[in-house]
Structure 1
Amino acid sequence: MAISDLKLPEGVTAHTFKSPVILAEGLALRVAEQLNDAITQQGSATLVVSGGRSPVAFFQSLIKHPVDWLKVTISLADERWVPVEHADSNAGLLKKHLLQGPAAKARFIGLYNVAASLEAAAEQADHTLAELPPIDVLILGMGDDGHTASLFPNSPHLLEALNPDDARRCWPMLAPTVPHQRLSMSRSLLASAKHTVLSIQGQAKLNTLSDALGGTDIAALPIRAFLQPTLEIYWCP
């Protein structure tokens, strides 16, 4: 099965690339253009990215493009509730692979904070995200289980976090894999992005996407909440 075989909702577009490297380069070029357009139009730009290892090549390619990073704010769609120095920290990953060279001038708004509990950390992150300007570009990933950001099936608070009318910006979430404790932007905040890209690799994730397109239960496959008009899907085998 290829992505061209999928029946995508009206307004959703898909792009196929031959390899992860070519996908990363194509996505970086697109995002750099969108950031520069936002800076030209409004004087600043906001980029929200997903963590994990998959986006590293994209990060490394993006910082090679000319962008006025001093006018860019960067944040994370989700975070593992571990210190920045921890190997699993998404903020640590960004500092190593994205916030480098000229891109180090960007303003970074992270989700992690020291708190007595995950719930308290999510409340604090919710307050912090009040400082986040409107999102111009959002890059989402997706797991084989259909989660995106850290909106995992069967996680407590999932239905609240997926409520499009809930104004809360960040929710505590539990992942099935270590580290279990996560912080995730809410559906309402993520869906407010001007441009959204879903970047995925491999046949397994394409199969999950196909399943997501074939149903409506967003709690079972949270990615369904984001298969909306204007979404761009970047995929490679």
Structure 2
Amino acid sequence: MAISDLQLPEGVQTHQLADSSVLASTLANDVAQRLRSAIEHKGHACVVLSGGRSPVPFLEQLAQQPLDWSKVTVSLADERWVPVEHEDSNAGLLARHLLQGAAAQATFFGLYQPAADLERAAQLTDAALAELPPIDVLVLGMGDDGHTASLFPGSPHLSEGLDPHSPRRCLPMLAPSVPHQRLSMTRALLASAAFTALSVQGPGKLAALRAALATDAQRMPIHAFLHDPLDIYWCP
């Protein structure tokens, strides 16, 4: 089965790459090209990225792209509610694998906020995100359960997180099977991106995409994004 075998909605473009290395380099090149275009047209660019282990090769490739990083704001689609020093912090991941060398000149806009509880942290992050520049490029991932960012099936705030008209930019989210509480950008904010890429690898993720197309966003939240303009980058 190939990505081209899926019956995808109009507006969804697919890129089938040979392997994970080619996917990382192709996506990094395409993202950098769009950031350069944004800088050329308006003097600044904003990219929102996803954490986890899978994006590491892409992040390292992106860091090597010729780009005026001093004119780029980098943020995250979601974050575990842990300080940046914690080994599971997505901000820490970006610090290690992207914001090095020339890319260290970028402005980083983190989601983590110290607070008495997760709800208060999400409120602080929500207010802070009012200052985030318009998103030029968004790079999403997807779990086998169909979650994207930290919009998890079964999370108490999922309906609000998926509401395209929600006034919230950030919500507290819970991942059912992992220990850390999460902060996630809402679909309302994520869908404002000028260009959205979804990076997925392997037959398992392809099967998850097929399942997501056949169900609804409550069961597999990525379903909501498959009906927006989207470029899917996939390799076997």
Pairing of 1:19-34 with structure 2 (within 5 A): 19-34=19-34
In the other structure, the counterpart of 1:236 is 235
Q: After superposition, where does 1:19-168 map in structure 2 within 5 Å?
A: 19-168=19-168
SS of the residue 1:125 aligns to:
helix
Matched, 1:170 2:167: no
Amino acid at match of 2:130: A
Which amino acid is the alignment partner of residue 109 of structure 1? F
What residue in structure 1 maps to residue 4 of structure 2?
4
Q: Any runs of at least 4 consecutive aligned residues in structure 1 with deviations exceeding 3 A, and if so which?
A: none
Q: How far, CA to CA, are the matches of 1:101 and 1:223 in structure 2?
A: 34
Percent of residue pairs identical: 64
- The count of aligned residue pairs is 236
Question: What amino acid maps onto 2:39 in structure 1?
Answer: I
Instruction: State the TM-score, normalizing by the size of structure 1.
Output: 0.98
Question: Quick one: distance in 2 between partners of 1:47 and 1:80?
Answer: 19
* Structure 2 unmatched ranges of 5 or more: none
2-structure distance, mates of 1:162, 1:213: 16
1:214 is displaced (CA, Å) by 1.8
Task: Give 2:104's aligned amino acid.
Answer: A
Contact in 2 for aligned 1:29/1:65 (Cα 8 Å): yes
Q: TM-score normalized by structure 2?
A: 0.98
Give the match for residue 226 of structure 1. 225
Q: Where does the alignment leave 5 or more consecutive residues of structure 1 unmatched?
A: none
CA shift for structure 1 position 176? 2.1
Root-mean-square deviation (CA, aligned residues, Å) is: 0.8
**CA–CA distance in structure 2, aligned partners of residues 20 and 85 of structure 1:** 28
Please state whether the residue corresponding to 1:235 is helix, strand or coil: strand
Task: After superposition, give the CA deviation of every residue in 1:82-137 in whole Å (9 maximum; x if it has no partner).
Answer: 11111100000000001111111111110001100010110011011111000000
Deviation at 1:229, TM superposition (A): 4.4
